[in-house]
């Protein structure tokens, strides 16, 4: 039933898109003037048009609104690119689910084998031509070999994908309701997906009476004894964390039903549910300032409203992080010299950076929640920031701290001017470079020691 519904939804979406794009002057019909007098594709006009071509007596009648929403989103994205005129935009479509026939597969294989040179991308051809113009013939030849290898791999992948049957387009439900859309329900220790797919009178549509103990997990209301004309599907949770965190504290919003194939070629069905979290706001009582330096990602200290130090020394050593990022930058620069512009190496740097910064943000927010602290970040310019964190890394850290803090009820982090913050005493407010000695009495280098020359306050 699920595979039939997904396949039928996919084929109908394909037909609706093709009909819409075949309509003469479609863009002119749905274009209106915005507030500035510029012509824009109007989503409401597009929706109204799609309702005239979407099937009415459809086997999947409860999904008609979702089908129109899918088609509208794909068409609007295409039209907006056309309006900007900065990038080319191919008309939206969904691939066919039918694999190649035996003669078609043989023809595709023969064309691939007999291809002497594979077509390159325009930017690749430009680089080769520029190298030839600059008199760098060996470089041009090497780039041509590299790009031809990539083009051959792409072509082989396309042939293999054509020979396998495709997977149908997912169905996204935006209404978590009992009457229509989908519902996340619980009975005892088990969770269920209630979803309406088929029209009344369809052979797969039957009304079922809900057993005692069924609860709408969004509202926590009982739905026992109610009659439901859809499917009741048992769920196997991916991780125990999902039940402890998302299902216990979040409210289901939208869901996406999709199918994948496992290693044995068998279809497996999944549902991806988006949750909304509305934690109780935390009334802050202290401040957590994060001072970032050359050898640490950050060194937070917590002070109360009177300026008294509450906690310190929560930091994450940054020398190894900086060295690892530098090593990856060198490898990427070497790869770029050889003509590579993407690949696992390019993604690895971002993943490692995100992982470490995410871990640090988790630790900061956990400590801030324990002390009910308002997080404060330095507002740094690009030049001093580049000594440790890049602009993108600092942005990711700030974003991670923002959403993680809001997730537990803390207010979003504040940004404060960075000038002289590391030289100002939290007790007496005296500001002087001497408050941050660079060496101790024996001449050893100091990195994170504060000693106020007026009141004697000391912190590390």
More confident residue, 440 or 82: 82
Q: How far apart are CA 46 and CA 25, in angstroms?
A: 13
Please say if the pLDDT value at position 271 is more than 90: yes
| Crossing angle of helices 137-163 and 102-113, rounded to 10° | 170
Secondary structure of the chain as H, E, C letters = CHHHHHHHHHHHHHHHHHHHHHCCCHHHHCEEECCCCCEEECHHHHHHHHHHHCCCCCCCHHHHHHHHHHHHHHHHHHHHHHHHCCCCCCCCCCCCCCCCCHHHHHHHHHHHHCCCCCCCCHHHHHHHHHHHHCCCHHHHHHHHHHHHHHHHHHHHHHHHHHHCCCCCCCEEECCECCCCEEEEEEECCEEEEEECCCCCCCCCCCCEECCCCCEECCCCEECCCCEECCEEEECCCCCHHHHHHHHHHCEEEEEEEEEEECCCCCEEEEEEEEEECCCCCCCCCEEEEEECCCCECCEEEEEECCCCEEECCCCCECHHHHHHHHHHHHHHHHHHHCCCCCCHHHHHHHHHHHHHHHHHHHHHHHHHHHHCEEEEEEECCHHHHCCCCCHHHHHHHHHHHHHHHHHCCCCCCEEEECCCHHHECCCCCCECHHHCCCECCCCCECCCCEECCCCCCEEC
**In the prediction, which pLDDT does 87 show?**
63
Q: What is the pLDDT of residues 133-187, one digit of tens each?
A: 999 899 889 988 888 888 888 888 877 777 777 889 999 999 888 877 899 999 9
Q: What b-and-e string marks burial along 95-132, b requiring 16 or more CB atoms within 10 Å of the CB?
A: eeeeebeeeeeeebeeeeeeeeebebeeebeebbeebe
Q: Which tokens hold the place of 20?
A: 């819409």
| Residue in the block written with tokens 């009304």 | 207
Whether residue 394 contacts residue 431, with contact meaning beta carbons closer than 8 Å, is answered with no
Choose among 250, 255, 247: nearest CA to 180. Answer: 255
Q: What is the pLDDT of residues 342-376, one digit of tens each?
A: 666 666 666 777 777 777 788 888 888 888 888 88
Q: What is the pLDDT of residues 303-331, one digit of tens each?
A: 777 667 777 655 555 556 666 666 766 77
End-to-end CA distance of the chain, in Å? 65
Q: How far apart are CA 28 and CA 73, in angstroms?
A: 17
φ and ψ at residue 191, rounded to 5 degrees? -110, 150
**In the prediction, which pLDDT does 153 show?**
86
**In the prediction, which pLDDT does 325 show?**
66
**In the prediction, which pLDDT does 406 show?**
87
Mean pLDDT, range 209-236, rounded to an integer: 91
Say if residue 169 is exposed, middle or buried (CB neighbours under 10 Å; 0-12, 13-18, 19+): buried
Please say if the pLDDT value at position 258 is more than 90: yes
44-53, 184-193, 283-292: the lowest-pLDDT one: 283-292
- Whole-model pTM: value is 0.65
The average confidence (pLDDT) of the chain is: 81
């Amino acid at each position: 039933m699920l595979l039939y519904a997904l396949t039928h939804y996919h084929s109908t979406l394909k037909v609706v898109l093709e009909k819409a794009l075949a309509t003469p002057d479609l863009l002119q019909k749905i274009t209106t003037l915005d507030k500035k007098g510029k012509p824009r594709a109007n989503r409401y006009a597009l929706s109204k048009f799609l309702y005239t071509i979407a099937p009415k007596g459809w086997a999947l009648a409860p999904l008609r609104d979702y089908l129109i929403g899918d088609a509208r989103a794909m068409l609007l994205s295409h039209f907006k690119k056309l309006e900007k005129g900065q990038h080319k935009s191919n008309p939206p479509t969904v691939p066919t689910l039918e694999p190649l026939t035996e003669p078609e597969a043989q023809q595709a294989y023969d064309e691939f084998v007999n291809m002497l040179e594979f077509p390159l991308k325009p930017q690749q051809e430009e680089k080769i031509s520029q190298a030839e113009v600059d008199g760098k013939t060996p470089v041009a030849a090497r780039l041509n070999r590299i790009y031809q290898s990539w083009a051959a791999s792409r072509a082989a992948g396309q042939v293999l994908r054509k020979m396998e049957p495709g997977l149908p387009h997912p169905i996204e439900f935006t209404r978590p309701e009992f009457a229509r859309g989908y519902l996340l329900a619980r009975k005892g220790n088990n969770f269920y997906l209630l979803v309406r797919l088929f029209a009344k009178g369809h052979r797969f549509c039957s009304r079922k009476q809900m057993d005692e103990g069924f609860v709408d997990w969004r509202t926590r209301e009982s739905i026992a004894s109610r009659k439901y004309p859809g499917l009741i599907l048992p769920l196997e949770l991916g991780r125990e964390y999902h039940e402890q965190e998302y299902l216990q504290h979040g409210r289901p919003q939208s869901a996406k039903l999709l199918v994948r194939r496992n290693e044995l070629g068998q279809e497996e069905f999944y549902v991806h549910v988006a949750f909304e979290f509305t934690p109780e706001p935390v009334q802050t009582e202290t401040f957590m300032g994060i001072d970032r330096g050359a050898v640490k990602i950050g060194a937070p200290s917590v002070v109360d409203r009177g300026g008294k130090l509450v906690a310190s020394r929560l930091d994450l050593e940054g020398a190894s992080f900086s060295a690892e990022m530098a090593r990856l930058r060198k490898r990427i620069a070497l790869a770029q010299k050889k003509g590579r512009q993407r690949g696992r190496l390019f993604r690895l740097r971002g993943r490692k950076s995100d992982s470490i910064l995410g871990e640090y943000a988790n630790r900061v927010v956990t400590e801030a929640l324990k002390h009910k602290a308002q997080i404060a970040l330095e507002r740094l310019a690009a030049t001093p920031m580049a000594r440790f964190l890049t602009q993108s890394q600092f942005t990711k850290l700030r974003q991670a701290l923002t959403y993680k803090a809001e997730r537990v009820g803390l207010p979003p982090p504040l940004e404060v001017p960075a000038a002289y913050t590391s030289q100002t005493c939290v007790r007496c407010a005296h500001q002087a470079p001497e408050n941050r000695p660079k060496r101790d009495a024996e001449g050893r280098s100091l990195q994170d020691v504060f000693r106020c020359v007026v009141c004697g306050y000391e912190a590390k």
